[in-house]
Amino acid sequence: MREKILHHAADMFLNYGFKSVTMDDIADALGISKKTIYQHFDNKTKLVEATVMNLFQIISKGIDAICELHKNPIEEVYDIKQFVMNHLKDEKSSPQYQLQKYYPALFATLKHKQFEVMQRCVKANLQRGITDGLYRDTINVEFISRIYFNSMVAIKDKELFPLKHFSMNEIMDYFLEYHLRGICTPKGLDTLKQYINNQS
């Protein structure tokens, strides 16, 4: 039952927001009593924390699985983006913004964990891209990996990038092309253009 609650809670939080979804809403959606939820989670904050961390683990494992395929580094970047977007429901409810506003301690913990995962993954992607001749061998991997993470956080700021101007999918695509064009060799640019053309 705990896993079922976590799954449904994640779905509702991502679709409607952490603030607006109540314990009653989750109980009604599951067809159970609120008391049943409280047998597993002391309060809503504990449920939000467990839901967020469970989702983080699922996404982290998925990213690791994609990285283990050792695909073309440029294709890998887009595959990870698509995987994350699918699991976060295209971030319709601005989950990062809501976590930061209503659950700041949890947001800080999550951000630290995300940084560790992304650093490992992005550094490996950059090193492989350099080895394959797709990324310039003059880039500073440590610098680029940190800029990449901070940019990913920034583009989810709804005040900077309001959804009335951009969908999250568009923003992600714009950012990834911007990132890749800044580090690609001529060979890499050809690969990037071919990939983008194949998607359109």
For residue 89, what pLDDT is reported? 67
Q: Is residue 2 part of a domain?
A: no
CATH code assigned at 105: 1.10.357.10
Q: Is residue 21 part of a domain?
A: no
* Mean per-residue pLDDT of the chain: 91
CB 73 within 8 A of CB 129: yes
The answer as to whether 104 is a domain residue is: yes
In a domain, 13, yes or no: no
Residue 19 domain flag: no
What is the domain count for the chain?
1
Q: Which amino acid is at 71?
A: K
Residue 100 has pLDDT above 70, yes or no: yes
Residue 82 falls inside a structural domain: yes
Domain residue limits at 183: 43-199
135-191, pLDDT tens digit by residue? 999 999 999 999 999 999 888 887 888 878 888 888 999 999 999 999 999 999 999
Q: Which of 39, 40, 13 is nearest to 103 (CA)?
A: 13
Classify residue 147: in a domain, yes or no.
yes
10, part of any domain: no
Cβ atoms within 10 A of the Cβ of 9, count?
A: 27
Contact by Cβ (8 Å): 155, 175:
yes
Instruction: Report yes or no: 110 and 52 within 8 Å, Cβ to Cβ.
Output: yes
pLDDT band at 91 (very low <50, low <70, confident <90, very high): low
Report, as an integer, the average pLDDT of 32-37.
Answer: 94
